[in-house]
């Protein structure tokens, strides 16, 4: 009887624990990624010098590069610097920006990339996508996924709490993204991938159902592992589909229309996911999403992101244009401006009622205390 299976490209190493950074040299050698330690290491301007001190006696053959800003120009500059020498691999140590720039540079140079996350703000740590600012606003570029992924919980504990929490919005949005994918499959015949769905949805559910918060290691490990699996779900699917639907279209629209008012990516997609569940008229999932975001102190309503209801309605109206060809609840309902505004108003009232019911921490004007 034949044993049929498919091969899934996955990282050689996934390490999520305290002190993971100090194992970098051993992992590079043990996994034959770089036996000589001749690697290019990209770091951000803030944490770079601190991180570099960890390697006083390790990785002496490595060269260090500072990455400032997440633009395509920064990535191209890094390519120019790195191509002067021969390296076995590129290591990115930092938050989303550093990892996105490093992934793009590694793809251009054809070198394997090792991701060391110092933050959990989004699911880019293991994903095959690099998000960079360009002249047209912000673009997503397909790149090979990292060959090794390290999440050092000591570093995560030092990251700004708001940025770590935003990763919760990112992963919760998977549930909404998968619902969009299922609708696209049912209504448009779009192909689905059950393995990608399992990875994306299960990782989100693990975080939603976890009773802890960002101050405890157990929760952080679940969040980190969830974001890693989310990235792998995109590798399996070959697109960002399992983690990106109407929630992300709304976030991209905020990025493009209001670059000066961008919040954390995970905060924006969390609000987008809550709004998408409201549009689907799925009360239970709407409540689950709102409760999860609110419990972890994340924005839920447009005002929490600094937008008036008219402004948010304009964002929603623009959202489908950010990802042409992706069928989500926004394209499915295809609401005109007046109905969008009515839905945004209704959504706002519903969230207010839900939060007030949950803990009474809302003023009569709807301001979250």
Q: At what angle do helices 265-280 and 337-359 cross, to 10 degrees?
A: 100
- The stretch near Zn ion (CB under 5 A) out of 74-82, 134-142, 145-153, 166-174 is 166-174
- 227 vs 313 by CB, closer to Zn ion: 227
For Zn ion, the closer of residues 34 and 251 by Cβ is 251
By CB under 5 A, which span of 164-172, 219-227, 325-333, 347-355 interacts with Zn ion?
Answer: 164-172
Report the nearest approach of Zn ion to the CB of residue 283 (Å).
25
How far is 319 from 317, CA to CA, in rounded Å?
Answer: 6
- State the binding site: 96-100, 123, 127, 170, 248, 265
| 304: nearest Cα among 279, 249, 267 | 267
Nearest to 303 by CA among 248, 258, 365: 365
225-228 — which CB contacts under 8 Å span 24+ positions? 225/14, 225/16, 226/171, 227/120, 227/122, 227/123, 227/125, 227/126, 227/167, 227/170, 227/171, 227/203, 228/11, 228/14, 228/16, 228/125, 228/126, 228/149, 228/151
Report d(CA 23, CA 19) in Å as an integer: 7
Distance of closest approach, residue 353 Cβ to Zn ion, in angstroms: 28
Q: How far is the CB of 198 from Zn ion (least distance, A)?
A: 19
Give the residue closest to Zn ion by C-beta. 170
Nearest approach in angstroms of CB 73 to Zn ion is 23
- From 4-12, 167-175, 177-185, 290-298, span contacting Zn ion (CB under 5 A): 167-175
Output the CA torsion sign for 360, 263, 143, 330. Answer: positive
Count of residues binding Zn ion (CB under 5 A)?
Answer: 1
Residue closer to Zn ion by CB (options 88, 255) is 255
- Per CB under 5 A, the segment of 11-19, 44-52, 96-104, 170-178 that binds Zn ion is 170-178
271 Ramachandran zone, left/alpha/beta (phi>0; psi -120 to 50): alpha
CA distances to 149, 300, 327, 333, 367 from 304, rounded to whole Å, are: 33, 6, 27, 25, 8
- Please state the closest distance from residue 251 (CB atom) to Zn ion, in A: 7
Helix pair angle (265-280, 246-257), 10° resolution? 130
CA gap 158, 64 in Å, rounded: 22
User: What are the φ/ψ torsions at residue 333 (nearest 5 degrees)?
Assistant: -80, -30
User: Which residue lies nearer to Zn ion by CB, 170 or 249?
Assistant: 170
Nearer to Zn ion, 296 or 354 (CB): 296
Residue (249 or 304) nearer to Zn ion, CB: 249
Q: Considering beta carbons, is residue 264 or 278 the nearer one to Zn ion?
A: 264
CB of 152 to Zn ion, least distance (A): 22
Smallest distance, Å, CB 318 to Zn ion? 18
Residue 64: what are its φ and ψ, rounded to 5°?
A: -110, 140
Residue ranges for the known binding site for glycerol are 123, 170, 248, 265
Annotated binding-site members for NAD(+): 96-100, 127
Which residues would be at the binding site for Zn ion (CB under 5 A)? Answer: 170
């Amino acid at each position: 009887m034949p044993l049929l299976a498919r091969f899934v490209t996955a990282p050689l190493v996934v390490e999520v624990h305290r002190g993971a950074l100090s194992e970098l040299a051993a992992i590079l050698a043990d996994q034959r990624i770089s036996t000589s330690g001749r690697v290019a290491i990209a770091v951000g301007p803030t944490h770079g010098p601190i991180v570099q001190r960890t390697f006083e006696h390790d990785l002496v053959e490595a060269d260090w590069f500072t990455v400032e800003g997440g633009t395509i120009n920064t990535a191209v500059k890094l390519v120019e610097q790195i191509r002067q020498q021969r390296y076995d691999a590129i290591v990115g140590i930092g938050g989303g920006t550093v990892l996105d720039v490093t992934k793009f540079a590694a793809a251009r140079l054809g070198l394997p990339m090792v991701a060391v996350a110092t933050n959990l703000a989004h699911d880019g740590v293991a994903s095959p996508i690099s998000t960079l600012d360009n002249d047209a606003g912000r673009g997503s570029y397909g790149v090979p996924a990292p060959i090794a992924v390290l999440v050092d919980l000591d570093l995560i504990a030092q990251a700004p709490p708001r940025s770590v929490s935003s990763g919760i919005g990112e992963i919760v949005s998977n549930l909404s993204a998968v619902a969009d994918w299922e609708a696209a499959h049912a209504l448009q015949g779009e192909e689905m991938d059950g393995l990608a769905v399992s990875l994306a949805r299960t990782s989100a559910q693990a975080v939603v159902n976890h009773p802890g918060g960002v101050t405890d290691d157990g929760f952080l490990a679940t969040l980190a592992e969830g974001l890693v699996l989310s990235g792998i779900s995109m590798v399996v699917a070959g697109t960002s589909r399992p983690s990106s639907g109407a929630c992300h279209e709304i976030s991209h629209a905020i990025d493009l229309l209001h670059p000066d008012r961008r919040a954390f990516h995970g905060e924006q997609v969390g609000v987008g996911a809550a709004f998408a569940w409201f549009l689907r008229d799925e009360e239970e999932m709407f409540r689950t999403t709102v409760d999860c975001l609110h419990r972890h102190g994340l924005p839920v309503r447009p005002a929490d992101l600094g937008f008036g209801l008219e402004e948010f309605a304009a964002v929603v109206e623009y959202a489908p244009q950010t990802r042409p060809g992706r069928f989500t609840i926004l394209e499915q309902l295809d609401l005109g401006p007046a109905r969008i505004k009515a839905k945004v108003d209704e959504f706002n009232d519903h969230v207010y009622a839900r939060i007030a019911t949950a803990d009474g921490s809302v003023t009569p004007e709807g301001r979250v205390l």
